[in-house]
């Protein structure tokens, strides 16, 4: 009986240790992955290999950063890329902590995978004397996405302030803004149309996506312009446009953007304004129909319910 009791104790400890180890493992089931084509999935998920000299980045010499095609995690800097004439992009170093090495299924080579999501990248080889680091990461182009250096300073911000024609009009002209698009954000329906959103039943707001160069302007500048170009105290729409789709909102991408938005709301509150603007985490932005894009620019007129007034 004593032996049985000791056995149960030992088995319980082993199971507990196993459970603890499982809890420490990275859980990819809740991660958000980019949608892959069949060809990308064959390499990234099923550990295939693209044909040599067929990848788009084999001869790429632009400055920038290579990120994981599956999860967008930064993997390699262009400064570590070199021409090994092997038919695949080669790097002699990775961004610290970005790439994990595991024994390949063939038991001989060393596979390299994205340390964030486990995507198959290729293999790493040592001792070939190509560079002083004596290391070659042989990576499939199809496992990568390249972000040119000139684009690394670009950020996206999302604002809703009534009819998106007027919201976009002012952001289009703002210093440092590279591109704008109007669309729908905040609702549950996928691929909503203007007609559907206009009913107020989808939960979406008419929103504007603003792409700006963070080396020339700031998120704070974008927030100030947002508040200075609409009536952020109106609670039922914007101007004559009444409905839930016309409410005022800032969709923040991260806690830093949220803090900046809260800062300006507090400043406005201190000035005596009753701010009705909602703060919501950014979700899927559904681009609106083509005829809505840059509406006032194409029409050659100005907004009827948005005006600029300096507040800050």
pLDDT at 305: 87
pLDDT at 166: 96
pLDDT at 14: 34
- DSSP symbol at 35: P
Domains, the chain: 38-149 (2.170.150.20), 153-299 (3.30.1060.10)
Nearest residue to 135 (alpha-carbon basis) of 53, 76, 70 = 76
pTM for the full predicted model: 0.58
**Which is the catalytic residue, given 68, 117, 163, 305?**
163
Cα–Cα distance between 79 and 62 in angstroms, integer? 9
pLDDT at 276: 98
Cα–Cα distance between 142 and 135 in angstroms, integer? 21
pLDDT at 5: 37
250: CB partners within 8 A, 6+ apart: 158, 159, 160, 223, 226, 257, 261, 277, 278, 279, 280
pLDDT at 152: 75
Cα–Cα distance between 137 and 92 in angstroms, integer? 6
Question: What stretches of the chain adopt beta strand conformation (E)?
Answer: 64-68, 74-77, 81-82, 90-91, 99-103, 110-114, 120-126, 135-139, 144-148, 154-161, 177-185, 205-213, 237-238, 241-242, 248-252, 278-281, 286-287
pLDDT at 31: 61
Alpha helices per DSSP H over 37-163: 38-44
Would residue 86 show up in a list of annotated catalytic residues for this protein? no
**Which is the catalytic residue, given 68, 114, 117, 138?**
138
pLDDT at 123: 98
10-residue block means of pLDDT along the chain (312 residues)? 39 36 41 86 97 96 93 93 97 95 94 97 97 97 91 90 97 93 94 95 97 93 98 96 97 96 98 98 93 91 92 96
Supply the Cα-derived Rg of the chain in whole angstroms: 26
């Amino acid at each position: 009986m004593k032996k049985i009791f000791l056995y149960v104790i030992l088995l319980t400890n082993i199971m507990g240790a196993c459970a603890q180890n499982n809890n420490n493992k990275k859980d990819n089931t809740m991660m958000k992955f980019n949608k892959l084509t069949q060809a990308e999935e064959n390499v990234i998920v099923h550990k295939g290999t693209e044909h040599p000299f067929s990848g788009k980045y084999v001869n790429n010499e632009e400055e920038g950063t290579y990120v994981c095609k599956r999860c967008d995690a930064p993997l390699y800097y262009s400064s570590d890329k070199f021409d090994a004439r092997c038919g695949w992009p080669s790097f002699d170093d990775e961004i610290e902590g970005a790439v994990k090495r595991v024994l390949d299924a063939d038991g001989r080579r060393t596979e390299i995978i994205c340390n964030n999501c486990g995507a198959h990248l290729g293999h790493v080889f040592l001792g070939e004397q190509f560079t002083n680091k004596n290391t070659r990461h042989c990576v499939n182009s199809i496992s990568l996405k390249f972000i040119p250096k000139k684009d690394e300073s670009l950020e996206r911000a999302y604002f809703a302030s009534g009819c998106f024609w007027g919201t976009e009009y002012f952001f289009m002209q703002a210093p440092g803004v590279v591109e704008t698009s109007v669309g729908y954000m905040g609702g549950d329906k996928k691929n909503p149309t203007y007609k559907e959103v206009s009913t107020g039943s989808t939960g979406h707001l008419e929103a504007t996506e603003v792409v700006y160069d963070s080396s020339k302007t700031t998120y704070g500048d974008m927030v100030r312009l947002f508040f200075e170009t609409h009536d952020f105290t109106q609670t039922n729409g914007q101007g004559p446009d009444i409905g839930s789709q016309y409410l005022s909102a800032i969709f923040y991408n991260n806690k830093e953007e949220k803090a900046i938005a809260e800062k300006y709301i507090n400043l406005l509150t201190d000035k005596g304004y009753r701010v009705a603007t909602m703060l919501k985490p950014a979700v899927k932005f559904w681009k609106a129909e083509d005829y809505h894009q840059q509406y006032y620019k194409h029409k050659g007129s100005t907004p009827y319910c948005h005006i600029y007034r300096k507040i800050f």
